[in-house]
Structure 1
Amino acid sequence: MTAPQFPPRLDGSGRRDRLMSTLVAVSAAYRWLAEFSGRRRPPVREVDRRLPLLVEQTRAEAAGVVSLRLVRPDRAPLPVWRPGAHLDLVLPSGAVRQYSLCGSPSDRSHYRIAVRLLGSASAEAHALTAGTRVTARGPRNAFPFVAAPAYHFVAGGIGITPILPMVQRAEASGADWRLVYTGRDRESMPFLDELPAERVRIRPDKEFGIPASGAELLEEMPAGASVYCCGPLPMITSVRVDLARTDAAAIHYERFAPPPIVAGKPFQVVLRRSGRTLDVPADRSTLDVLREVLPDVPYSCRQGFCGTCEVPAADGGRVRICVDRGPAVLEL
């Protein structure tokens, strides 16, 4: 048998270093085991997060607002969700839009969403009929409802959809709460008949002649309440501005439109495949400009959290073209 060969020690003595030899051998064995186990490990499979659903019922909830009752085709229980959650609904054209779940989280037999008619995507949702199969992703929650002793809810128009399950949860928990619900007029405000009148103030603009200020929307707020606000951007902005004059514990809000671009600078985006260069003005997003030349480029939330608008960049990264601002070379 050949005697083991040890590397020389580093102290200049010329003797062999048994400890270093052992470490080298262990390292080699570890690399061999890692390579061997990697060959035996099954490949990672992508998780299919698609949720096949069936439109069980449609219902007119207000002027221009339709609700959809969605079930599994086999009527099995649906995934759990919490107040504030939404579905990513894949429409027949392939467009993806987010719709807040506005039913009861405790009833997993169906989901309910409501859609206001505003554009081509919402028109597709309004055209869905009972018996139509659709695909969704989720539920996901970007507007979580956090336990608190008191709440003040502010909803504007279709913004009532995520607020409605929160109100129901606050009532069930015994918390002190109030809701101010505003809109153009009562005819356009869905789910009025599902709200308990004693804690809800209905404030249509048509009856008052002017939209409510933030201060008015925060009137009668319980002491130290957490504020939840959902609706048009001007309404949310006015509430946030006037909140400083209150003793609110926190504010949580969700908007249905992208925030305005403030203090932006113009830049250029290069489309590598076509060789085109696009000028993006200071007050517009890459998505806005890109859709003028590629109208089928996908997008959804326009606020940067859903990931639908991400496109690969030439440097190997990914760009969220609805919110990322700056020069880039895109693989388009």
Structure 2
Amino acid sequence: MTARDSRWQRWVAALAARPATTTTAAPVPGRTRLAAALAARPVAGPRRPPPSAFGDAPAEGGKLTERVKGILAAVLGVTADQLRVDADGDVGIRAGSAMIFVRVQDDPPLVDVFSPLLTGVEPTETLYQRLSDLTNGLVVGRVYCTGGTVWASIPVFGQDFVPTHLLLAVRGMIALADDLDDRLRLEFGGSRFFGSEATGLTPVPDPTGYLRDLADSGASGARGAGSVLVDLLADRGHTDELRLRADHGDGHAAARLAALLAERGQAEEAERYWRVAADLGDPGAHDELAALLAAGGRPDEAIDLLRRSVEQGNRRSLPLLITLLTERGQLDEGIDLLRRWAARVDPPGRGA
């Protein structure tokens, strides 16, 4: 072996020296999971003096976070430093038994005015229908339940930000939350934020509503928000929404759903969504589907799938394909594939 031999050529030589039979099982590719909740938190910008007044001219220059804080401080009659800001950077405003939060993101620009109306609620079909009816009756915003907490949310887009829109959203949420938490508690139980029945536990703002609004907005950064939302839904096991998003063309949702289904032993449905993810271009779907097929006693189908993937230029499928070919005693084909890839990556005459 000379110094000129490339990594691919060394791999060919090593494989050619292996026995034609082996008992090594085909490895299942691993997946990396995001810490999605952290990605939903706004990044605080440097302190700046609050802008003046509430002129309805769109905001030009200056961080949206500081602009919003200045407006809220003026409305509440305090300075920006005196605002109640939690560890996530959200500004809190008490409204009777309810708590209103204002969350700001500078890039892409978005303001979310939201409130955890009730905690400790048992999700039921009746509750979901009630919240759907309430949402349909709102001019803007929505009311929904996730993680045993009922939330109300009114988004204010930060692109060409107009202060009046924020003021209307805050005013509307104050009126809505302080009344609606009482009415919903009578119907479905649970605890209000500042109700006498509260346990003293402070609910953590759920980022799924915020991410969902951003992902569906079509604004800059919507695609990234959609990806983080899918990871968060998958980590919480919300297969229904993942299935809906996958059926509407979200390849990442299809891949995460397939992984969940495979973990639960639902191999047939997992196979279906791995195929959807592969058709939609998810980079690891071919490998995952092939591993599922091989584990299910269908190695020939797995090999055919990986062959097509490699022929389409997907080098990620090559290691698993070589492994399966070797397991089937087709070592010569594996060596030939590696030699062809070595020629593509390290063509003759390149390098010294």
**TM-score exceeds 0.5:** no
Higher helix share: 2
- What band does the TM-score fall into relative to the shorter chain? under 0.3
TM-score, length-normalised on structure 2?
A: 0.21
TM-score, length-normalised on structure 1?
A: 0.22
Bigger RCO of structures 1 and 2 (CA < 8 A, at least 6 apart): 2
